[in-house]
Amino acid sequence: MDDWWMLLDVSDQSSLNLRQKIVGALDQVETNELHRTIRMAIAENKVDSLMHDITQAEQLNSLSPIMMEQISRALILDKQIDAAVELLFRGQAIYPADFGIAFGLASSLHLYVEPPNLEKAIAYYRVAVAIEPRNPGGFLNLGMALSDQGDYLDALMAFDRAIELDDRYAHAHNGRGVALKYMNDLDGAIKAFREAIILDGDYDHAPN
């Protein structure tokens, strides 16, 4: 499962390592001069100067979904959130059945846009899990967004589905605990939080 969207840290301390991962991913998919130009721009932290060229319609149509996804991640690292979201919206129109584009768009709207656009994020998370209904990460993030919106019952259902797909998914158990806590099922919440800690001894998100 790809946790990059949830774990992207836009701080200077970790951005270099993440940028190197993005460049490494692009090494596997570059096939033409445009792709090589994109790879070098990301490696040299010159994404801003690149965006004018690649957002032209004919250029976008020549990019694969994974290229669009990696570029949007680099834009987020450069704190260009609006540009990343615009690119993903346009990518979703070109590739409506691609999980990575739908999930990346939802995650950007949920985790990086200020303030979060939860309504659209939830809609695109639902698109993502419809495309890949056996991807626990999709259901985890859907549950997180629903919980942030205060829809704890639907959030619980999403977390439960993530756990059905991967019963060792500590994040999903913790999310389940949060939903149960706000539904006033404290015994159930404590059990879920304990399960998260058992599954991941270094887990630092579960309340004491």
The answer on pLDDT for 151 being more than 50 is yes
* Contact by Cβ (8 Å): 92, 105: yes
The tokens describing 105, both together, are 């768009």
pLDDT at residue 3 in the model: 47
pLDDT at residue 143 in the model: 97
Tens of pLDDT along 9-66? 444 445 555 555 555 555 554 555 555 666 666 666 665 555 555 555 456 677 788 8
The tokens describing 87, both together, are 């690119």
How are the residues of the chain apportioned to helix, strand and coil, as percentages rounded to the nearest 5?
A: 75, 0, 25
Spatial distance between the Cα atoms of 147 and 158, rounded to a whole number of angstroms: 10
Mean pLDDT of 144-158: 97
The answer on pLDDT for 208 being more than 50 is no
Tens of pLDDT along 164-186? 999 999 999 999 999 999 999 99
**Which candidate, 88, 86, 171, 158, places its Cα nearest to that of 122?**
158
Tens of pLDDT along 54-113? 555 456 677 788 888 878 887 887 788 888 898 899 899 999 999 999 999 999 999 999
CA angle at residue 115 from 113 to 121, to 5 degrees?
Answer: 60
- Of residues 135 and 10, more confidence is placed in 135
The answer on pLDDT for 114 being more than 70 is yes
What is the separation of C-alpha 16 from the centre of its chain, rounded to a whole number of angstroms?
19
